[in-house]
Amino acid sequence: MAEETRCSCGSANVALFPCAGAANVGQISNKIAIALEERGIGNLMCTVGIGARAPGLMKSAEASDRIITIDGCPVNCATKTMELAGFKVDRQIIVSELGIKKAKDRNPKDEEVAEVLEKVMGILQSE
């Protein structure tokens, strides 16, 4: 039997909704969400599918015990998408507030991703 995904909050059903925008911080947010899923912190979900009100994705979000959004910048697209769809965001993370400057570069450096991931893991473990 597969081990249940858990975050430090103790929930086995955590949904991760990244920004995945066109700037470096959006791409970092998506990479962070993938890394969190790989580490068993939560389940990567499709933020755009929520904006499109895709029935299956809406049901998956509704069934989540906890919703974490990972926004690239203060525009807060992932968080606003979830809230406009009627969901309560339990934790928002904003990549540009973690020491990464927003730029048009869509290929973030591995070191930047690793730096942000370490900070995000610290944030989530302190909850």
pLDDT digit string, tens, across residues 96-108:
999 999 999 888 8
Please give the angle made by the CA atoms of 6, 8 and 11, to the nearest 5 degrees.
45
Which of the 8 DSSP states describes residue 87? P
Q: Is residue 4 part of a domain?
A: no
Q: Is residue 19 part of a domain?
A: yes
Q: Is residue 2 part of a domain?
A: no
Q: Quote the domain boundaries for residue 27.
A: 14-125
Q: What is the mean pLDDT of the chain?
A: 90
Band (14; pLDDT cuts 50, 70, 90): very high
Q: How far apart are CA 124 and CA 127, in angstroms?
A: 6
List alpha helices for 13-98, DSSP H.
24-38, 47-51, 55-62, 77-84
Q: Is residue 74 part of a domain?
A: yes
Which of helix, strand or coil describes residue 19? coil
Q: Is residue 1 part of a domain?
A: no
pLDDT at 39 over 90: yes
Q: Please report the pLDDT score of residue 6 as a whole number.
A: 43
Closest CA to 46 of 11, 74, 78: 78
Q: Which of residues 107 and 27 earns the better pLDDT score?
A: 27
By percentage, how much of the chain surpasses pLDDT 70?
91
Pairing between strand 91-94 and 43-44? unpaired
Overall pTM > 0.95: no
Beta strands in the chain (DSSP E): 14-18, 43-44, 66-71, 91-94
- Please give the tally of structural domains in the chain: 1
Band (11; pLDDT cuts 50, 70, 90): low
